[in-house]
Amino acid sequence: MSRWVLFALSLASAVPAGADSSLSGKAIKILDGDTLIIVTAQGDRQARVRLAQIDAPETSQAFGQRSKQSLSDLVYGKGVQVAVEKTDQYGRLIGVVHVDNLDANLEQVKRGMAWVYPQYAKDPSYFAAERTARDAKTGLWAQSDPTSPWKFRHSAKPSSVIIKPGAEYEDELGGN
């Protein structure tokens, strides 16, 4: 088993389903605008953390790199506290990241660097922050018609191509 799988399993057992807990560490890598890696305060393990309640643009999407840089500016190299809500099916900790008493998740929304993830968000202040950012055309809201990450991911899936057995030429290939 890979180290990531073993680590994810150890974290999953350490964070009971449905129970909130806290984890302290240092942000050592920013993967995108809503995901980072921390090393625990004890320095004995790393954790992949997905920011709860928000969804940032994919790195290949408009504002994706800016969102990643924004999260980096907020937390990279700094001590963070993660209020862990749960562990997802990919072994990531889902939680609210605090740095210097600042809610980094909420700050990403305020900066116009992330959407509120409507099916997972429960804090009304996130929705209010998004409305304010939209009205002020802050960050990604300066675009005329920004595409949400969940729609972008859905549209970015490649269409399936069916190859007929024995097909040798393009006109013999099936498709959508």
First to last CA, the chain: 38
What are the C-alpha distances in Å from 124 to residues 53, 121, 127, 160? 11, 8, 5, 40
What residues contact residue 170 under an 8 Å CB cut-off, 6+ apart?
none
Given the residues 3, 45, 85, 92, the one annotated as active site: 92
What DSSP string describes 19-62?
A: --EEEEEEEEEEEETTEEEEEETTSS-EEEEEETTEEPPPTTST
Q: Which of 50, 107, 111, 130 is catalytic?
A: 50
* 131 a catalytic residue: no
Catalytic residue, candidates 48, 58, 85, 107: 58
172 is catalytic: no
Query: Catalytic annotation on 153?
Result: no
The span from the CA of 105 to the CA of 144, in Å, is: 24
Active site residues: 50, 58, 92
